[in-house]
Homo-oligomer: A and B are copies of this chain.
Amino acid sequence: MKFEVTILGSNSALPTTKRFPTAQVLNVLERFFLIDCGEGTQIQMKRFRIPMSRINHIFISHLHGDHIFGLIGLISSFSLQGRSVDLHIYAHSKLEKLIRFQLELLESKLEYEIIFHPIFGTKTQLLFEDNSLSVESFPLKHGAMPCAGFLFKEKPRLRTLRADMLSFYNVPIKCRQSIKEGADFVDDEGQVVSNKKLTKDPPKTRSYAFCTDTAYLPRIVPIIGAVDLLYHEATFLKADVKRAKKTYHSTAEQAAKIALEAKVGKLIIGHFSARFENLRGHLKEAKEIFPNTELAEDGKKFSVKLDRD
């Protein structure tokens, strides 16, 4: 019952040998959602054992190279591996032009379909939804470049059946689905057993918000709400706050302020400037404001456990 983010790349524009550009995979119940796709993403997937063939949905925050230059290689490799399943890409509409132009010029014939879903970038937008998960985008602030954050939220589960009580009241199997959905049980003699006796509250829904690249933007606080995990960019330290503002990036302190105000469970900071050889300063600065902060590092995994009680 996983809900786990794997960091594939944690650096900003210029990659280093230890920190590839931005890419992450969110595993929700063994479905794998790719978020951003910097150069080398497919190599990192192999390194960190992400099953490439199970990536069916790719969410792209914005069209800076360090978030997209791995996409054409990934698309090509999917084809070489014999993929036949549709691939859904959620991004600014320019990305479709970029990919289709390359495929056409290079005469690459894919054996599968790519379905592009435009992100409009001016308001919150529901991008994906099924029985168990929804993904929304919301606008970030990255200068003239339209840029989206993503909010992944599990849907509420059905109520959890109490095996002991079902047995006690001799509830037949055929009635169980409706009880999970909240119905009371009425036995053959017309006696009503309330749903509360037969079930427990379901596990809490889990959630993840991804916010990069962006200037400090307190208006996202009510959007992300109290997510279990927040990834927020922290390109710079507070000493560089002017530079951060000018380049529409955030400092570690600003990322922590967002986490604190939104009351998130854990903050992951990333998208570090290549100028920083070590990231102790980022971690210290963020922890002073929001203690439950961790550094994004290539290969690191962050899980949210299913709260069964």
Determine if A42 and B39 form an interchain contact, defined as CB atoms under 8 angstroms apart: yes
- Residue A139 CB within 8 A of the other chain: no
Q: Write the chain B residue with the least CB distance to A42.
A: B15
Knowing A13-B80, A106-B65, the reply to whether A20 touches B43 (Cβ < 8 A) is yes
Is A70 interfacial (CB 8 A cutoff)?
A: yes
Q: Nearest Cβ distance between residue A13 and chain B, in whole angstroms?
A: 5
Q: Please judge, given known A-B contacts A39-B42, A73-B69, A106-B63, whether A14 and B80 are in contact too, CB under 8 Å.
A: yes
A70 near B17 with CB under 8 A, answer no
Q: Tell whether, in the assembled complex, residue B43 and residue A17 are in contact, meaning their CB atoms are under 8 Å apart.
A: yes
Q: Enumerate A1-60 residues with CB–CB distance to B below 8 Å.
A: 13-17, 20, 39-40, 42-43, 46-47
Residues of B within 8 A of A84 (CB): none
Q: Smallest distance from the beta carbon of A236 to chain B beta carbons, Å? A: 15
Check B14–A81 contact: CB distance below 8 A: yes
Contact A98 B102 (CB under 8 A): yes
Q: Are B73 and A39 in contact (CB under 8 A)?
A: yes
For residues 77 through 117 of chain A, which have their beta carbon under 8 Å from a beta carbon of chain B? 77, 80-81, 94, 97-98, 101-102, 105-106, 108
Q: Is A194 an interface residue (CB 8 A)?
A: no
Instruction: From the candidates B17, B70, B77, B105, name the one contacting A46 in the complex (CB within 8 A).
Output: B17
Chain B CB within 8 A of A76 CB: yes
Q: Is A223 an interface residue (CB 8 A)?
A: no
A39 to B73, CA, bound (A): 7
In the complex, are the beta carbons of A65 and B108 less than 8 A apart?
yes
Whether A72 and B73, one on each chain, are in contact in the complex, defined by CB atoms closer than 8 angstroms, is: no
Name A's B-contacting residues (CB within 8 A): 13-17, 20, 39-40, 42-43, 46-47, 63-65, 69-70, 72-73, 76-77, 80-81, 94, 97-98, 101-102, 105-106, 108
